[in-house]
Each structure stands twice: as structure tokens, then as C-alpha cells.
Amino acid sequence: MLGLPARVRACLFDLDGVLTQTAKVHAVAWKEMFDGFLRERATREGTSFVPFDAVDDYDEYVDGRPREDGVRTFLAARGVHLPEGSPDDPPEAETVNGLGNRKNNLVLRRIREDGVEPYEGSVRFVHAAREAGLRCAVVSSSANCRDVLVAAGIEGLFDERIDGVVAHERHLRGKPAPDTYLEAARGLGTDPDEAAVFEDALAGVEAGRAGRFAVVVGVDRVGQAEQLRAHGADVVVRDLADLLESR
């Protein structure tokens, strides 16, 4: 009744864009941060300002990646290379960590002001999975994962959480490497070929494919079904409730 292979015993869910309606919050924050930085740099150097595209640039360079990787990857595509700095750099610092902290402050402000809404279809699916005896984990690059789960009222639905904080502590590579998903499967006591990955980010479905999981479900919230398939999704749905309704 879950629309998954019979051998699946665990479900591994991305957070932003799969469980909660926070992917758009991240996209807006990335754009605000990068546009401010790029505009200042263009003015200082007398060059043209080319804004960050909140759809194409977000999908290609930052979605699903650890924050510093997103900063580094996008700027490299623009031919910009900044010092790494350190995690406690102030948000005004022109370093990889400084820009990452600037973006994080913007996200936290929006979450505080607007709150967090889960996707109702995803909550239904997680409940159905648990009722069927499957164990569930959240796998997110975000260091704010627990706060978002609590704000959305869904923290208690998951047996394991592998997020940006845990990844840093355990020295796990971020998506598109499969490390965080593999760690979640280990934490649930399952092998990759007994676990399903649910992702809306291109880097995330690449991680699922690289980890050789039983099935990688792409969640298409923004009309990128073909890209999700090309990057490794076995199945693409508009909402996780579609899996329940297909049975």
C-alpha cells in the first residue's frame, strides 16, 4: 500500500521540500544573500551585476548541499573564489563561512516570522509507513533540521536524524555523496538495499543512486521531473500522497 518494493524496511526522508515547505524559504534566502554579495562586488569592481537565479542556480548549485558547499559551488561557477574563513565568521565577512552564516541568519529570521508548515501528503505517508512497521529517518544537510521539525510539529515521527550537525560531528561528506543516507540506514539497522530514499533535490537523488538504495523517490515540487530522473530517481511523484493513492 506504500508503493514501494516489498523488501523495503526503512524510509529515509530529506527535510526541505519533501517533509516541510521550507525549500522556497531557502531559495529566497540564498537569492537575497548572493544578490547582495554579487551587487556589492560588481559595484566595487566596475563589472555587470548578474543576479542569482532562484530556480536554475538554486537547483544546480545549492539545493540539498551543505551550506558551505553551496556557497563554494555557486561562486566557483561564477569564477569567484573566496577564503574559507571559520565557522564563527560574522555574516558580513566575505568568506565562504561568512556568506553561509549570512544566508543562515536570513533563513532563521523567516522561520521565526513565518513558521514552518509540513506537507500534509508527506505526513500522511510517514504515518502510513510507520503503521506498516517501517522505520523512518530524516536526512538533511541543514544544521537547523531539529528546529524545523519541532516548529512543524513532526519531530516525534522519526527514529533517526542525520543532519548538518551530525554530519559535521561524524565527518560525513554531504550530498551528492551518499554518506549521510548510508549513516541513517546504519542507524536504523538496515542495509541500503532495504531502504527507500525520498528527495526533491538533484544532489539528493544523486546521493540515493550512489548509495545503491532499494528505490530513490524523486519529489517534484517545481516541475523538474526529467532532471530528477536523469540524476538518479527511480520514481517521480508530485507529492508522497501519490504513492498511497496509486495503490
- HSE-up of residue 159 (Cα within 13 Å, Cβ side): 20
Helix 179-187 to helix 202-210 angle (10° resolution) is: 60
Residue position matching grid coordinates 524523486: 218
Q: Is 16 a catalytic residue?
A: yes
Q: Distance between alpha carbon 126 and the CA centroid of its chain, in Å?
A: 18
Look up 220 and say whether it is catalytic: no
Residue 136 pairs in a beta bridge with 11
Q: Closest Cα to residue 196, out of 141, 239, 234, 246?
A: 234
Which one from 16, 57, 89, 234 is the annotated catalytic residue?
16
d(CA 151, CA 79): 38
Question: What type of residue is 122?
Answer: S
Query: Residue 178 phi/psi, 5° resolution?
Result: -85, 0
Decide: residue 237, CB within 10 A, 0-12 exposed, 13-18 middle, 19+ buried.
buried
Burial 85-123 (b: 16+ CB within 10 A, else e): beeebeeebebbbbbbbbbbebbeebbeeeebebbebbb
User: Which residues are known catalytic residues?
Assistant: 14, 16
